[in-house]
Amino acid sequence: MERDYTFKKVADTKEITNLKNEWLDSLTSPQDGMWESFRNSAMNWEIMRADEIIGYAAVGENNRLIQFYISPRYFSKGVAIFKVFIDKMEIKTGIVGTNNPGFLSITLNFVEALKVDTYLFRTHYEVTIEEKEGILRECQVEDIERIANFCHHSTRAPKEWLSGYIGDLVEKGEIFSFENSSEIIGICEVRKSATAPAFADIGMIVSPEHRRKGYGTFLLNKAKNIALEWERTPICSCEKDNIGSLKSIQNCGFVSMYQLLHIVFK
């Protein structure tokens, strides 16, 4: 087996574009935007048979496997190839979505321990949410520094990273602030999916001073309605233990039929 299949670091992600498109077509539900960014920044490996690329894998932080895809023509060899790969790379853990049937079916052969890490949500029904006093508006270039400071205060994420991230959302018209008397109470995002044109990832952040007052649900529902106005189906995710966000998402008519699983391999 080791003589038949080799692994090579991806020098140019264009080399695996066709395989990524095959994988996207295989999903039973769109991928989560946050994990999409994790996959994009991970170390990618080509899975080779002679000179042919037959699959690819992505390894993220802490040597955690976050993607493993084998072309259908070679899928019958997938379990054996997977075993060689995780042994060679000394991989002990992985994250796999229940919406990712190929990856999931292979990993289930090697599970020592498994738990739900993140819920993946899609809107399923309309709800009526009480309005809040204030103004929701699309953020502009001149707002970037102020919004970055707000997000840093609310999440403690690095300001330098936030400035670039928010700047990108502003350029695309995908971030909105909710203010009352010039105070930012919260922000919401509606990110058009780059890989699933019919969908938009939504999210929100509420100031620590205004949490537990219904603003999270209010802002998430606003983001949901913006996505629907754009004729995109809103999707979002939430870590299993984030009870506050979980309640807000469910209160907005979202249902989780898929999850991201944390797996410890044998």
**Per-residue confidence band for 75, with pLDDT thresholds at 50, 70 and 90:** very high
Gyration radius (Cα) of the chain, Å:
20
pLDDT at 67: 97
Percent of the chain past pLDDT 70, that is, above it, reads 99
Question: Which sequence spans correspond to the domains of the chain?
Answer: 5-120, 122-256
The domain defined by 5-120 carries CATH number 3.40.630.80: yes
pLDDT at 214: 95
Q: Do domains 5-120 and 122-256 have the same CATH topology?
A: yes
Cross-sheet strand order for the sheet of 65-70: 5-9, 43-49, 52-59, 65-70, 93-97, 254-265, 111-123, 233-239, 199-206, 183-192, 175-180, 135-138
pLDDT at 31: 87
Asked which of 89-93, 134-138, 147-151, 193-197 is least confident by mean pLDDT, the reply is: 193-197
pLDDT at 32: 86
| Strand partners for 5 | 49
Q: For residue 13, give the DSSP letter.
A: G
The domain defined by 122-256 carries CATH number 3.30.420.40: no
The per-residue pLDDT for range 138-179, each reduced to its tens digit, is 999 999 999 999 999 999 999 999 999 999 999 999 999 999
Residue 4 pLDDT > 90: no
pLDDT at 1: 52
The stretches of the chain forming alpha helices (DSSP H) are: 17-26, 33-41, 78-89, 101-107, 144-155, 159-172, 215-229, 243-251
CA proximity to 101, closest of 54, 68, 123: 68
Residue 31 and residue 118 in contact, taking contact as beta carbons nearer than 8 Å? no
Mean per-residue pLDDT, 86-111: 97
Mean per-residue pLDDT, 47-68: 96
